[in-house]
Amino acid sequence: MQQFTRELTREIAVGGERLVLTLTKDGLSVRPVGGRRPPFTMSWPACLCACVANAAAEPSPEQLLQTLKEIHAGASKPVEKTIEVVAHDLGEAPKPAEFSTALASAGDTTMVLLARLDRWLNLHRERFEQALRPGATAADCEALTSAIGKPLPEELRVLLTWHNGQNPEVPGAFEGNWFLMSTEEIAVAKNELDSHAHEGWNRDWLPLFDDDNGNYLCLDLGSPGLPMRECWRGRADHPQVAPSLTAWLEAFVNALERGSYVEDTERGSLMLRS
């Protein structure tokens, strides 16, 4: 198999626009011909996942036009823009429930799922999307690592660098009645829970979402696969709700794309249809 020894650049025409496509050993990038702004990039694992998840779908003319506009505007933050360009490639087509996590690392798979979530939010919950905070910085993630005394799982780091929590002044839950926590909020809650543990609490658990009532959706760092658990104050049982954060996100995004959720704009919840 021939390996990349140098970048391979070709000019392509899409939607009447001339674009420069560059392929490297790490992935591909795209920018307008003559453009000086940062290109949009995608790793090969993310590209492979996008192809499998959306093998038969074609973007609408409107989606293609919007994508070309954003390519002309140029990329900024690499992680966020990689997620966005994956979202544009994925379009609105339903994705198979059996979306393969074996094709990429947990971080790459999570990135593709967040790209799909970005697409859905942009189409159906734009006000909530705008209330999500900017992604966590490397310093934010390192501070959380120091606070909990453990390295952050790759999938969690990708989630936090996507959006570092949400604005509490804007009503709207991330899923169900759960609110996305920031690195700082996670560190504070983790310290309080470890210091004043309620019944059944385990120090290996890391809160990621809260409901403003002392209950949390947690990542179980002490169990194989790092499952997600609901942790309810006053209850001894804290059930596992997903085998991993990536699996939880995948089930959530698939359900969103099937139209299985309904938003209560008064209370701010986002619940599965009964």
* The token pair that represents 88 in the structure block: 């544009």
Query: In Å, how far are 78, 83, 84, 124 from 118, measured between CA atoms?
Result: 15, 8, 7, 10
Is the Cβ–Cβ distance between 166 and 180 less than 8 Å? Answer: yes
pTM above 0.85, yes or no: no
Edge-to-edge order in the sheet of strand 40-43: 8-14, 17-23, 27-32, 40-43
Q: What are the residues whose beta carbons fall under 8 Å from the beta carbon of 51, sequence distance 6 or more? A: none
How far is residue 13's CA from residue 85's CA, in Å, rounded to a whole number?
Answer: 17
The one-letter amino acid at 42: M
Q: Where are the domains of the chain?
A: 8-124, 132-260+270-274
pLDDT by residue, tens only, the chain of 274 residues: 456 566 777 788 888 888 878 888 778 888 787 666 677 888 877 776 666 555 556 777 776 777 777 776 666 444 444 555 444 444 443 333 333 333 346 678 899 999 999 999 999 999 999 999 999 999 999 999 999 999 999 999 999 999 999 998 888 999 999 999 999 999 999 999 999 877 789 999 999 999 999 999 999 999 999 999 999 988 888 999 999 999 999 999 999 999 999 999 888 899 999 8
CATH architecture of 132-260+270-274: 3-Layer(aba) Sandwich (3.40)
Alpha carbons within 13 A on the beta-carbon side of 249: 25
